[in-house]
Amino acid sequence: MQQASLSERDFARFRQFIFDAAGITLSPAKKALVCGRLARRLAARGLDSYGRYLELLEGEEPASEVQIAVDLLTTNETYFFREPRHFDLLRTLAGQAKARRRRLRAWSAACSSGEESYSIAMVLDDVLGEQPWEVTGSDISSRVLRRARTGHYVDDRARLIPADYLKRYCLRGTDEHAGTLLVDPALRRRVSFMQLNLNEDLPTIGPFDIIFLRNVMIYFSPETKRAVVERVLERLEPGGHFCIGHSETLHGTGAAVEQVAPSVYRKP
């Protein structure tokens, strides 16, 4: 079957689809990304045009195909210990929690395939050990959450894991699994993952002592960003910390937090 072309009209409809489903604003420059990522679904469903695939998504098709399309159109690139200064802060907060003999709860609010969640867990296990701590990872994509639960990654994702953590918390792949690592099962069992759309009302979770919402707001419109930040901060404890991506800002959101460091905020 000849590869279909994506018209400007259908591209505009896909942009509206992913905005309605996930609050993500795709720029006009993302046409090739949409075309490339959805081409497989056209082939799998035996469709000869993107327009027909849109009709399928908008019609009576079971929600599973909508979820597949959302999964394919959301960006999920990440790696362990991305933006290391946030983990320095986490280590400090964990030390304070240990001194006070209190539980520390962390939320990785757009966890993608789980590298951020497991990075948080490594720090908390290292500092707190058997003292109570919790890590929750959430994402809109069921596909990346399945990967997160396996804890299986290519070595390239692990380049920033501290050497002692790599030895303590990761198992190196051999033979057919060479070039990969597996997060230790004991650590995996202490991290929970859930599917969650930040663009909708949140379930009853938290409250958390620290929330990571990094490198996802850049895809939101200003209105969506304000609404998402408001929802997320409702799940943050007073005095808790909120970490965003270094390329992001809370400017214009009206968030009731104070900045304590670049890309780090504290809820009064």
Using alpha carbons, list the distances in angstroms from residue 246 to 83, 84, 113, 214: 8, 11, 20, 8
Q: What tokens does 226 get?
A: 């304000």
Longest dimension (CA), the chain: 65
Sheet containing 152-154: which strands, arranged edge to edge?
152-154, 180-183, 170-172
Residue (of 267, 238, 243) closest to 255 by Cα position: 267
Residues 6+ apart with CB under 8 A from 56: 45, 47, 65
Q: Is the peptide bond before 207 cis (omega within 30 degrees of 0)?
A: yes
Let me know if 37 is a catalytic residue. Answer: yes
Let me know if 175 is a catalytic residue. Answer: no
Distance of alpha carbon 111 from alpha carbon 113, whole angstroms = 6
Q: Single out the catalytic residue among 82, 139, 209, 214.
A: 139
Residue (of 221, 222, 241) closest to 15 by Cα position: 221
Q: Single out the catalytic residue among 37, 41, 143, 172.
A: 37
Checking DSSP bridges between strand 104-108 and strand 133-139, what pairing results, if any?
A: parallel
What are the catalytic residues?
Answer: 37, 139
